[in-house]
């Protein structure tokens, strides 16, 4: 169960004096006396609304190992060998980096925006994930380099170009998997903020209160034209296009390269809040950008696609509270039918069955790759709809799998991972090598 107010607990691995000295040195920015001398403590989940403010380094590392193991078990994939992943530390981007590296033996460069540990404050999960990824990639003899910074900025783009030129020459695949709440435009300095709102008219529907597990009625007022524009500026395709144009201009994008961004469609019941709302407008822009990029890359044999993925519990999707009711119902239906997938299964299937199967890449009537086939299967959606209509606070458990949701949520932060002893001290200030 989620513990909502538990604190980080200093374990027995270090006494109070040692911890104070270490903390003091950290504050003054002194290097530790020796590399083994890092903060260790018991770390527990600390959940605030839809975010967990702590992360468990050993749990995150185990998550990475489990995903690598899944990919290895399913055999090699004949994919590109030099891959850039933008948004590489969690969710779909992380899974893309893992499948590229451990499925296709690719050298990878990952870009993300995460926080390292500071004193007793743990790093973010994406930081620990990336540290563990780097360790595993090196063990496997694979090149990997990580950039922690704002992917929207010209500065990070320039650093990545330099690294590609120096270490890889060029990249043959670019995955764009950012999910960000805000963006500062690199040319104008304008600040944009994304919102999740319907457009045109208010959306009145039932939703799940994740604090009390009650079904509540929620009315969300429509977003303004300004909010729509700002959400498109954050989550649309402008920055993706900027990345591709920069890589092309600098000569570090190989001919016949492939670029991909992820989108979501969903069923009718979530349309007003997602696909027909501000976020949907951003996805429309992302999909239009895919067509534009495809046209510019095709003359040299390159391709650009959007891939429509399944709804999954990730840090980005957990931040959309109105989606939670749909998610807990969907989880129950898909698990009962044995067709549920996590990020790694989704991306592995994308690579193996769609992108690198040796056949032409299958797309829908709008040119999109579809990995939401199981989520949108008629029998799955028919049951989801029935549950959606029948569910109340009283009969909640009959129609929703809240423990699966909680488990998926906590695992994002390295908690409830099988094989991890959460009563033991764990390293907190883990470096990304």
Q: Return the number of the residue (12 or 155) whose C-beta is nearest ligand NAI.
A: 155
In the list 45, 79, 126, 414, the residue contacting ligand NAI (rule: CB under 6 A) is 126
Q: Is 247 in the site for ligand NAI (CB under 6 A)?
A: no
Q: Is 60 exposed, middle or buried (0-12, 13-18, 19+ CB in 10 A)?
A: buried
Q: Give strand pairing partners of 147.
A: 111
Q: Is 311 in the site for ligand NAI (CB under 6 A)?
A: yes
**Residue appearing with tokens 């991972």:** 417
In the list 41, 106, 171, 179, the residue contacting ligand NAI (rule: CB under 6 A) is 179
Helix locations, 76-218, DSSP H:
91-98, 104, 125-139, 154-163
Q: Is 250 in the site for ligand NAI (CB under 6 A)?
A: no
Q: Return the number of the residue (19 or 342) whose C-beta is nearest ligand NAI.
A: 342
Cα dihedral 254, 256, 262, 266 in deg (nearest 10): 170
Q: Is 90 in the site for ligand NAI (CB under 6 A)?
A: yes
Choose one: 87-95, 115-123, 334-342, 350-358; the region binding ligand NAI (CB under 6 A).
87-95
Spatial separation of the C-alpha atoms in residues 163 and 147, rounded to whole Å: 10
**Site residues for ligand NAI, window 262-301 (CB under 6 A)?**
262-264
Q: Give strand pairing partners of 183.
A: 192
List all residues 6 or more positions away from 7 whose beta carbon is below 8 Å from its beta carbon. Answer: 44, 46
Q: Is 113 in the site for ligand NAI (CB under 6 A)?
A: yes
Token pair for residue 318? 């957990």
176: helix, strand or coil: strand
Spatial separation of the C-alpha atoms in residues 302 and 336, rounded to whole Å: 40
Active-site residue, selected from the candidate residues 274, 351, 399, 405: 274
Token pair for residue 389? 């209509």
How many angstroms separate the Cα of 85 from the Cα of each of 20, 57, 160, 173, 246?
Answer: 39, 22, 11, 8, 15
In the list 177, 257, 278, 289, the residue contacting ligand NAI (rule: CB under 6 A) is 177
Q: Return the number of the residue (112 or 413) whose C-beta is nearest ligand NAI.
A: 112
Please state the closest distance from residue 92 (CB atom) to ligand NAI, in A: 4
Please state the closest distance from residue 176 (CB atom) to ligand NAI, in A: 8
CB closest to ligand NAI, residue no: 91
The residue count for binding ligand NAI (CB under 6 A) is: 29
Please state the closest distance from residue 311 (CB atom) to ligand NAI, in A: 4
Do the beta carbons of residue 265 and residue 222 sit within 8 Å? no
List all residues 6 or more positions away from 198 whose beta carbon is below 8 Å from its beta carbon. Answer: 220, 222, 223, 272, 273, 276, 277, 278
How many angstroms separate the Cα of 189 from the Cα of each of 34, 182, 184?
Answer: 42, 12, 6
List all residues 6 or more positions away from 55 whose beta carbon is below 8 Å from its beta carbon. Answer: 43, 122, 123, 124, 125, 127, 128, 413, 414
Q: Return the number of the residue (41 or 85) whose C-beta is nearest ligand NAI.
A: 85
**Interaction pattern, residues 207-236, with ligand NAI; x per rule: CB under 6 A:** ------------------------------
**Interaction pattern, residues 6-45, with ligand NAI; x per rule: CB under 6 A:** ----------------------------------------
In the list 317, 363, 377, 422, the residue contacting ligand NAI (rule: CB under 6 A) is 317
**Site residues for ligand NAI, window 386-405 (CB under 6 A)?**
none
Token pair for residue 214? 């009650």
Q: Is 245 exposed, middle or buried (0-12, 13-18, 19+ CB in 10 A)?
A: middle
Q: Is 150 in the site for ligand NAI (CB under 6 A)?
A: yes
Residues in the chain: 433
274 annotated active-site: yes
In the list 41, 60, 88, 199, the residue contacting ligand NAI (rule: CB under 6 A) is 88
Q: Return the number of the residue (14 or 146) whose C-beta is nearest ligand NAI.
A: 146
Choose one: 45-53, 81-89, 115-123, 225-233; the region binding ligand NAI (CB under 6 A).
81-89
Would you please indicate which residues are annotated as catalytic (active-site) residues? 274
Residue numbers at the binding site for ligand NAI (CB under 6 A):
87-93, 111-114, 126, 150-152, 177-180, 262-264, 309, 311-312, 314-317
């Amino acid at each position: 169960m989620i513990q909502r107010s538990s604190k980080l607990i200093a374990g027995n691995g270090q006494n109070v004096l040692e911890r104070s000295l270490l903390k003091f040195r950290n504050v003054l920015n002194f290097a530790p006396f020796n590399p083994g001398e890092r903060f260790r403590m018991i770390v527990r989940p600390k959940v605030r609304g839809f975010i967990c403010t702590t992360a468990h380094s050993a749990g995150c590392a185990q998550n990475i190992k489990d995903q690598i193991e899944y990919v290895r078990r399913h055999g090699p994939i004949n994919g590109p060998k030099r891959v850039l992943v933008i948004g590489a530390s969690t969710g779909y981007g992380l899974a893309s980096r893992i499948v590229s590296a451990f499925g296709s033996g690719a050298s990878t460069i990952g870009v993300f925006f995460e926080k390292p540990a500071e004193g007793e404050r743990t790093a973010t999960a994406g930081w620990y994930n990336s540290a563990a990824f780097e360790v595993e990639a090196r063990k496997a003899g694979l090149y990997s380099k990580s950039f922690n910074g704002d992917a929207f900025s010209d500065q990070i783009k320039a650093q990545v170009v330099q690294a590609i030129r120096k270490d890889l020459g060029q990249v043959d695949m670019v995955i764009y998997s950012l999910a960000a709440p805000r963006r500062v435009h690199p040319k104008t300095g304008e600040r944009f903020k994304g919102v999740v709102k319907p457009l045109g008219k208010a959306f009145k529907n039932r939703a799940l209160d994740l604090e009390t597990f009650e079904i509540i009625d929620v009315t969300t007022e429509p977003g303004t034209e300004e909010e729509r524009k700002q959400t498109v500026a954050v989550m649309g395709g402008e920055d993706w296009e900027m990345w591709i144009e920069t890589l092309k201009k600098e000569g570090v994008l190989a001919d016949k390269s492939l670029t991909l961004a992820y989108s979501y469609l969903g069923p009718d019941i979530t349309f007003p809040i997602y696909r027909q709302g501000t976020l949907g407008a951003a996805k429309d822009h992302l999909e239009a950008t895919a067509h534009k990029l495809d046209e510019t890359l095709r003359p040299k044999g390159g391709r650009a696609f959007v891939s429509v993925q399944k709804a999954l519990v990730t840090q980005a999707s957990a931040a959309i509270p109105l989606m939670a009711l749909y998610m807990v119902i969907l989880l129950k239906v898909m698990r009962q039918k044995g067709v549920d997938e996590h990020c790694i299964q989704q991306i592995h299937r994308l690579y193996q069955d769609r992108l690198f199967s040796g056949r032409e890449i299958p797309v829908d009537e709008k040119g999109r790759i579809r990995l939401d086939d199981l989520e949108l299967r008629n029998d799955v959606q028919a049951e989801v709809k029935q549950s959606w209509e029948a569910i109340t606070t009283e009969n909640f458990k009959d129609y929703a799998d809240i423990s699966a949701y909680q488990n998926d949520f906590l695992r994002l932060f390295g908690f409830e991972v099988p094989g991890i002893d959460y009563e033991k001290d764990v390293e907190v200030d883990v470096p990304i090598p």
